Amino acid sequence: MGSMATAYLTGFGAYLPGDPVDNDGIAARLGGDDAVTERIRRRVLDANGIRQRHYALDEHGEPTELNEELAVKALQAALDDRGIRAEDLRMLACATTMGDVLVPGFASMVHGRLGGGPMQLLSASGVCASSLAALDAAVSKIRLGDHPRAAVVGSELSSRSLRQRRFDGIRAGMDSHFLRWMLSDGAGAAIVEFQPHPTKPSLRVDWVRQVSLAHEHDVCMRSGMSGAEPSVGRTWQDVDIADADAAGMFVLRQDVSMLDDLAEAGFRQFEELVDIGLVDVSHLDHVVCHYSTNAFRDLAFDALSRRIPNLNTDRWYSNLETRGNTGSASIFIALEEAWRTGRFAPGETVLLAVPESGRFSFAFAHLTVVAPPGHAS
């Protein structure tokens, strides 16, 4: 095949459940108000720099919504932003770390709730970088000309597994506290089309790239097994559920000692983008980066500044501090806010960067702001 179409992001939506919860309001939702936990929480919060976040939990810690509902609300906001309906979509690509149910796939549940007509689905699982894996799939199908319009959503409702009942009676070290006081809920979505928005600027998707280095790294973030290596007969599916629970298999854990390696590997991936010419540092105007904690912000900024001399804080965007770390939803929630608040001007370029600790994955997307047809950019 010769010519391909171009993919544009033409509508953006985000949904953050409930009122923002500040650092003093966390314990009411997630529990853990004993003195030791309190001390650990303060330490983790000081390091990650998150000041407020959203939980789909009421003030007593009871769930208020399903993950699929968060996804649908973000999608509906993106459809409204673009001025189209679910019936206009021909593909839906959904990213989440954990759906509400084990079976069927998350995208099937989101489609069922969203409605619209027949469409292609993709459930991208994984962790944070599944967001751009879903975007890549939608963009590829648009570029092939197979579909005129697709929607992508990243959605997370991790809070229910961060509540105290999951931690009662189990060993919970820094590997679980680190995530417990970092993750929160939300969803972000974008509309992908083969034509730019008729009357407003769009983001042209120049490329999406995702690389896994799992071949040379152990598991960093995990749930459903004991230890860092899955073994036959010892995963959560093999043993009694009560035993799995007692063994803490359902707690989400991260080997924090590996995070420096993760950051280094991420910088090397970025360097490679520059070295092979995918990123032209003299024409890179904005970086929207997902990172789990502010501890990595300065590291990342320094690393990027080595290759982008004109990078300054105005061109660097993250809303981690106010929207929290929402995993696969984060990059879309950040992009939506950056877009809505007018940070980008026609002609400018944007790099999305999503490192994923799970087992060392890195995803990037390069976007260019284009004026609506008939307007010089």
Partner 1 sequence: MTIDSSTATSDTISTADASAPAGVDILAERLADVWVELEERLDRVPVLSRLAAGTVTLHDYQRLLFNLRQQVVDGSPWISRAASNFDIDHFELRTAAIRHAEEEHRDYLMLERDYVAIGGSLAELRAGRKNLGSEALSGYMFHYADQPNPVGLLGAMFIIEGLGAKRAAGWAARFQEVLGLADSQVHFMRYHQDADSAHTGDLEAILTSGIIDDGAADEIVRCAQVVARLYALQLEELDH
Radius of gyration of the chain (CA): 20
For partner 1, the binding residues (CB under 8 A) are 1-6, 88, 143-149, 194-195
Rounded (10°) CA dihedral 183, 186, 191, 192: 10
Helix (H) or strand (E) holding 103: none
Least Å from the CB of residue 90 to partner 1: 8
Answer for the pair 92, 122: CB distance below 8 angstroms, yes or no: yes
Nearer to partner 1 by C-beta: 161 or 202?
A: 202
Least Å from the CB of residue 151 to partner 1: 14
Locate tokens 């999608």: which residue?
75
Nearer to partner 1 by C-beta: 6 or 64?
A: 6
Give the whole-angstrom CA distance, residue 166 versus residue 44: 19
Nearer to partner 1 by C-beta: 149 or 253?
A: 149
For 118, the token pair is 């027949």
Cα atoms in the 13 Å half-sphere on the side-chain side of 133 = 20
Burial class (CB in 10 A: 0-12, 13-18, 19+), 86: middle
For 31, the token pair is 């529990």
Nearer to partner 1 by C-beta: 3 or 282?
A: 3
Least Å from the CB of residue 370 to partner 1: 11
Least Å from the CB of residue 195 to partner 1: 6
Nearer to partner 1 by C-beta: 3 or 313?
A: 3
Least Å from the CB of residue 79 to partner 1: 14
In a 3-state reduction of DSSP, which class is residue 232?
Answer: coil
